[in-house]
Amino acid sequence: MTDHQHGYIHRKDDYLRRLRRIEGQARGLQRMVEEEQYCIDILTQVAAMTKALQAVSIGLVEEHLSHCVVDAARAGGEEADAKISEAVDAISRLVRS
């Protein structure tokens, strides 16, 4: 059951590796500011980091729809409606961010 709830678990190591790389990008940005590097180069890194985060979020949306939402849809009823509505809210925050 827990397995179904959290679809990303079977790719946990992949997500942890990507998030560690993103953490490294945040540290790299601090080094760039510390060393007073050129703003445009810093902005280029910020855009790369934002793209990496988006890729993580799209992966999580996929796992969530494939597992949690599909399970809820099969179970049906109010639970299914609540899950869909919760997923749409999360997607909406991503689209707007």
82 binds a second copy (CB under 8 A): no
* Closest separation in Å from C-beta 56 to a second copy: 6
Q: Where are the alpha helices (DSSP H) in the chain?
A: 2-5, 12-34, 39-63, 70-75, 77-96
The CA distance from 6 to 22, in Å, is 22
Q: How far is the CB of 36 from a second copy (least distance, A)?
A: 5
Is 48 in a helix, a strand, or coil?
A: helix
Q: Does 90 bind a second copy (CB under 8 A)?
A: yes
Least distance between a second copy and beta carbon 24 (Å)? 8
Asked if 79 is part of the footprint of a second copy (rule: CB under 8 A), the reply reads no
Decide if residue 10 touches a second copy (CB under 8 A).
no
